[in-house]
Amino acid sequence: MNFISFFIKKIFLKKKYFSLFFILFIITAIHYNFFGIKSRIYLTYPNLQSEARKIFFSKKSVLEHNHFKNDYNVKFLPETQYVKLNFEKKKLIFSDSFYSEHPRNFKFIAKTSTFIHFYIELMGEKIWIVDYLGNIYPTEIQNIKDKKEINLKTISSNLSVRKVLDILIYNNYLFVSFSGGSDDCHTLNIVKAKVNLDHLNFENFFSSDECGAFGVSGGRMQFYRHDNSDGLLITNNASHFVDKPDNFPQDENSIYGKIIFIDFKKKNSIIFSKGHRALLGLYADEKVILSTENAAYGGDEINKIIFNENYGWPIASYGEKYSVKAVEPVYSKSHISLGFKEPIFAFISAIGISEIIKLPNDFSNHFIDNFIVSSLWGSTLYRIKFDKNYNRIIYYEKILIGQRIRDLKYHHKMKAILLALEQEGELGIIFNNDK
């Protein structure tokens, strides 16, 4: 006790030592995860711990460190290489039922690996937001401009889902893809409802007969005209995409690991392409279909989708198994030599690639004929230009956002890129300051 009293009176109470002890206390609190601080920081900046160790414990000086070399001439928001952008975030306040049913601790977001999945679509003066439990929130664009928080209001519907996978508004109908079925038989489903602000009466558009024992994911939808018939393209991921992949993506009798086309009139479905792993982004127009695909460990892909082509999974991939550090590659590193379609581009290391959209030329004279690709763990947007035939990438620019990005849309009237930021449940809005 005498030692403790001496310590407090002679050392701790002296002002010149107080700051030092305060700093040490904060470091200790972060290290031992007081109040969930550590988890929150590491989820927001997943590479912070490893990068700090490299910098402070490496024999190299800070300026010699590779991270700083890699960041040479890289711009960070609000600046990009040629354009200064304005980035705003609007906190979304979802319905009470969503918070009560969502399997997460909202007070300390970083204590769980689950996030606030939601999707955005545009129609007229409204942004349509649908959370992953199927609550639907049409929101006036005018109401979000000067607000930091947006209180979302649901409209009634007969929608009952296990997990929403994507939404699409086409020809005044709201399409919702979702995982349905029972606990031991998950199915891929699409419903549609005529847009109505009082009540949405959904009717079945497509339901798969095949069960997925490990759940259903993917579900990205795009309008497309195939063989003179209008319909939807929809992605369906491999049924089990960890270190023991099955062969369903190569099986013509399975819809898993495929892009499917569904005819509007006949409602019959065909396999459009196969050999896919985890498709989280899809773009289609009359000239090209592009997909973004999560590989295994490393090697996320951007693919040019061609009818009846095979994209190689689980035989060929530029990624590897998570658990196997083999001398020889587990997957073939050549797609074409095995008769598969090569990706346009593969990211080494993986970025957690998600959605892809085409950016209209009215956004910036410096961003002509560009696409925007988003990422989850990478927390980054990529501004990309393809060659004329979409066979290669001419360039890309990284635009760091700092949050997981699940969905993207472009609003023509606002001349703004809208982002579904699932880490904090926010709507991101990127404007061009030069406009």
Q: What is the tens place of the pLDDT at every residue in 222-233?
A: 999 999 999 999
pLDDT value, residue 17: 59
pLDDT in tens, 143-188: 787 889 999 999 999 998 989 999 999 999 999 999 988 888 889 9
**What is this structure's pTM?**
0.82
Mean pLDDT of the chain: 84
- Report domain extents, the chain: 2-67, 76-432
Report the candidate in 433, 287, 414, 412 with the shortest Cα–Cα distance to residue 366: 433
pLDDT value, residue 135: 95
Question: Confidence class of residue 20 from pLDDT cuts 50, 70 and 90?
Answer: low
pLDDT value, residue 269: 96
Instruction: Among 16-20, 246-250, 356-360, name the one with the lowest average pLDDT.
Output: 16-20
pLDDT value, residue 320: 87
CATH class belonging to 76-432:
mainly beta
pLDDT in tens, 27-84: 666 555 544 454 455 445 545 544 554 444 454 444 444 444 556 677 778 888 999 9
Instruction: Among 95-99, 291-295, 353-357, name the one with the lowest average pLDDT.
Output: 95-99
pLDDT in tens, 383-412: 999 999 999 999 999 999 999 999 999 999
